[in-house]
Structure 1
Amino acid sequence: MLFLYRISIFGYQFGIWLASFFNPKAKLWIEGRRKQKLVTLNESIWFHFASLGEFEQGRPVLEKMRAENTSVKTVVTFFSPSGYEVRKNTPLADYVYYLPLDTRKNAREFLNAINPKIAVFTKYEYWYFMMDELYQREIPLYMISAIFRPQQIFFRSYGGFYRDMLLLAQHFFVQDEVSKTLLKEINIDNVTVSGDTRFDRVWENAQNAGPLPAIEEFKGNQKVFIAGSTWPPDEDLIAKLVLIYSDWKFIIAPHEISKEKINNLLQKLPKEKTVCYSEIAADPALLEQKQVLVIDNIGLLSRLYQYGNLAYIGGGFGTGIHNTLEAAAFGLPVIFGPVYQKFKEAKDLIKLNAGFSVVNEASLESIVARLIEDEDFYRKASTNAKNYTKQNTGATDIIMNYIRTHDFLN
């Protein structure tokens, strides 16, 4: 099975290399790894994230561990360019790298360079050679905000290699009891149900979100519908709402902000009523005249929700929805597409009538109409969304207390 794993790793690299000739992200994936130079450290604390979403998820633990260990260098790695390119200059790390391709040689060279005292992986990342090298060197590896489902390969009859990989971790901090039970069924007991550190991150953000004067001016005295991390299928639906609710303001923050993607979005919206965020600096008066604001930069979305009344979260017509909790923390009812089954918080919000899944234009218009017209229904949805977020904070403290107790950093 290890042979097949090696083949799959090199097959993946070859596929990315082929894609790099026409796909900018793939090119960054290849070139970023080829050009990076590792700095040799005496010791470090290593955090690895798949991409930007996992970075924000694990950020509360990263912040606390960095604050409590100021004499130790912090190394952050990303698998995806979308995480690395946005956070490569983060003040929360001394060094930010792409995770090298998972080979035995690369794992040894990487760990020889950064010399971690501890490693923390967030949610889904499992790389055999990196994990095995950590294990052999007796460097504790913690998996935080981990979540498991019966359909995953670890729990299949043919998943022995991947089950063995889990044995290389020092401890799992999982999001729910289901995950703990699944791990116990395959004889893994080094597990703590901590919850999801994203709740800590989004709640802190909601309590300390700084003002955005331009958004305040755009909002004025009108209600605001915010569509975050949208993809084209989401935007097709939102564009129809713009025409229906002319007395509402709309803010749309696409998941991808390349010139091509922004232009495609703009073509769906009424030209005379739409402005891009990048345009308002040159002419602030545009804000008063426009109904739709397209966010064509990165880093605003988590603060935008403080100005919203309703939120739509993109990705649910593709591989899965993006972060619903950022909006819920501000008390916004959240709407999303049909692909949400892998996201516990989305299922929880639906049960609380604070989250709503739509499958087409008609279902979106129906739920938006109810939330707008039924004040009591809206008020309960808003309250439930905010309370759900607040009540599920605390994962960071559970994780940090465990690590402190076991004294791995002293």
Structure 2
Amino acid sequence: MRYIWYIIYNFFLLPIMVFIGIIGVIFNKKIREGFFGRFNTDGGLDDFISSLDRNNQTIYWFHVSSHGEFLQTKPVLIGLKEIEPHIKIIVSFFSTSGYNNIDDNIIDCKIYLPFDFPWLVRKALKTIKPKKLIFAAYDIWPNLIWTAKAMNIPTVLFAAKFKRKTKKLMPLVRSFYQHVYNNFYSIYTITKKDDEKLRLILDKSKNMIIRVLGNPRYDQVNRVSDQYSIEHTKEILNRKKSIILGSMHNEDKKNILDGLMNLLNDNNDIYIIWVPHEPISKNINSVYDYFLDKGYSVKLYSEQNKLGTDHPRIIIVDVVGVLSKIYWNGIIAYIGGGFSTGIHNVMEPAIARLPVIFGPYYDNFQEAIELIDLGGGWSINNNKEFYNIANKLINNENFLLNASEAATDVIHNNIGAATRVVRGIIRD
């Protein structure tokens, strides 16, 4: 059956994916950039490897999908280099959002993931000769995994998670993924439920190492929050009453904007900091003009020297890379994506002591589920629900304080996964 799936993948599934990718190249700038960027992978690897003394050099190859998965991986990279300071780390990215936005000294070589053709991944593996090939979360590629197995290169998957109603348990799909996952040397899941789903997919896992080690993303969020030690001393009741709207999509705007306007009208002492998911001119101008037409004072974040006591009712963030810091200037966070693709990062506002509100598409995010369970987060379906929970948080100090503490507890209760993953990579 393994060879049947190899044939099906390489002669049917992979060509379909390539065809879709080529169509995407024509119409989508990001896909086009990533597609052509992969043609530089071989040269980049050759240049990097030729600069090393291969007789004494240990290389780990990490693969992440995008920017978010790199942040999840970073505490693992830091921990690994603390224990083995002389190793080299190669990180491959699938998406342009990761490749273009990550410039980190912890990485020794940054590449786009090669196209998943057998001859290309074999060439990359022969060039790198990694001690281990390590995947983060979910972006796994069959030929890369199968080829590494054939070359006796151990492969690791960490922060593995599965949707509540994962299609990977459907008979035919399960058979395919069984023949992919069975070629891993070790798999580390986030939760016990993920572990149970993985074992159902694998059926009998032979000599594979399977452990529940948690999510290193909590460690990264906690580490970054330490940069804001001054803000740490600010109790939430002493902050300006700002609602931070992070990673906003158009669908979020449709489902909370009326409720937001009611909040502004009913509470003269609250402020809004609006952060678009994509801070392009079209999105920024649309929000800017809307609030201006409603008679509110509006400014762009880039026009502000500091989020101090004199800022206008509405600030629109028109730069990237500042959201995690901005959360420390608020008392409530709404996180976008929950009415479309799935919610964005709820950990950053939680560590900043903010109660977190988000849309209904959160089932695939364990941290959101934990926020709801502990009383630090809420899922809403419409404007009315958004207004009701936000208004209660604004006007009930005890409710706000309890929710703030619960949100932070979710992070603190999960710290330590990065250390466990590093230990597994080294010892298993």
TM-score when normalising by structure 1 = 0.90
For the 8 Å contact 2:240–2:329, the answer to whether it is kept is no
Aligned counterparts of 2:119 and 2:312: Cα–Cα separation in 1 = 56
Q: Percent identity?
A: 30
- Which residue of 2 is the match for residue 78 of structure 1? 93
- What is the CA-CA distance between 1:71 and the residue it aligns to? 2.2
Q: Does 1:57 align with 2:76?
A: no
Q: CA deviation at 1:359?
A: 0.8
Residue in 2 that maps onto 1:229: 247
SS of the residue 1:173 aligns to: strand
Relative distance call for 1:275 and 1:17 in structure 2 (3 A) is: farther
Rounded to whole Å, the distance in 2 between the matches of 1:334 and 1:182 is 28
The equivalences for 1:344-363 within 5 A come to: 344-363=366-385
- Whether the aligned pair in 2 keeps the contact of 1:141 and 1:170 (CA below 8 Å) is yes
Pick one of 8, 15, 21 that aligns with 2:13: 8
Identify which of 272, 275, 299 aligns with 2:321: 299
Deviation at 1:237, TM superposition (A): 4.7
Task: Indicate if the aligned counterparts of 2:307 and 2:329 stay in contact, CA closer than 8 A.
Answer: no
Is 1:137 matched with 2:155? no
Is 1:277 equivalent to 2:301 in the alignment? yes
1:117 equivalent among 131, 151, 161: 131
Comparing 345-354 with 35-44, greater Cα deviation is found at: 35-44
Are residue 181 (structure 1) and residue 199 (structure 2) matched?
no
Q: Which residue does 1:290 correspond to in 2?
A: 312
Partner in structure 1 of residue 104 of structure 2 = 90
Aligned-pair RMSD on alpha carbons? Answer: 2.5
Which of 38, 43, 52 is equivalent to 2:44?
A: 38
Shift of 1:61: 0.3
Instruction: Determine the C-alpha separation between the residues in 1 that align with 2:130 and 2:355.
Output: 42
**Cα distance, 1:341–1:20 mapped onto 2, change above 3 Å:** same
Contact 2:244 2:274 in 1 (8 A): yes
In the other structure, the counterpart of 1:379 is 401
Question: Helix, strand or coil for the counterpart of 2:195?
Answer: helix
CA contact (8 A) 2:239 2:330 kept: no
Residue 246 of structure 1: how far off its partner (Å): 4.0
Distance change >3 Å, CA 221–CA 63, structure 1 → 2: closer
Runs of 4+ that moved beyond 4 A: 284-287
Corresponding residue for residue 214 of structure 2: 195
Distance, in Å, in 1 between the alignment partners of 2:286 and 2:105 is 34
Query: Which of 9, 18, 26 lines up with 1:21 in the alignment?
Result: 26
Q: Are 1:161 and 2:173 an aligned pair?
A: no
Deviation of 1:265 after TM superposition, in Å, equals 3.1
Could you tell which deviates more after superposition, 231-240 or 363-372? 231-240
Q: 1:211 to 1:115 in 2, by over 3 A?
A: farther
Counterpart in 2 of 1:266? 288
- The code of the aligned residue for 1:38 comes to G
CA 1:111–1:265: 2 relative to 1, 3 Å: farther
Which stretch has the larger CA shift, 319-328 or 10-19? 10-19
Query: Aligned-pair distance for 1:355?
Result: 0.6
Alignment match, 2:83: 68
The equivalences for 1:317-328 within 5 A come to 317-328=339-350
Instruction: Name the aligned partner's letter for residue 26 of structure 1.
Output: I
Structure 2 Cα separation of the partners of residues 312 and 275 of structure 1: 20
C-alpha displacement at 1:86, in angstroms?
0.7
Helix, strand or coil at the partner of 1:269 = helix
SS in 2 for 1:359: coil
Matched residue SS, 2:344: coil
Deviation at residue 338 of structure 1 after TM alignment: 0.7
The answer for unaligned runs of 5 or more in structure 2 is: none
- Offset at residue 151 of structure 1 (A): 3.3
Deviation at 1:123, TM superposition (A): 0.8
Q: Does the 8 Å CA contact 2:298/2:315 hold for their aligned counterparts?
A: yes
Distance in 1 (alpha carbons) for counterparts of 2:44 and 2:195: 37
Distance 1:141 1:239, change over 3 A: same
Counterpart Cα distance in 1 of 2:251 and 2:169: 33
Deviation track 1:355-386 (CA, whole Å, cap 9, x = no partner) reads 10111111100110111122221111111111
Deviation at 1:346, TM superposition (A): 1.0
Higher mean alpha-carbon deviation, 288-297 vs 312-321, is at 288-297
| Contact 1:46 1:76 (8 Å CA) reproduced | yes
Which amino acid in 1 is paired with 2:157?
Answer: M
3-state SS, counterpart of residue 288 of structure 1: coil
1:223 maps to a residue whose letter is: K
Distance 1:13 1:297 in 2: 34
The change in CA–CA distance for 1:210 and 1:353 in structure 2 (over 3 A counts) is closer
Name the CA shift for 1:273/1:4 in 2 (closer, same or farther; >3 Å): farther
Contact kept in structure 1, 2:79 and 2:419, CA below 8 Å: no
In structure 2, how many angstroms separate the alpha carbons of the residues matched to 1:288 and 1:96? 43
8 Å CA contact 1:229–1:315 kept in 2: the answer is: yes
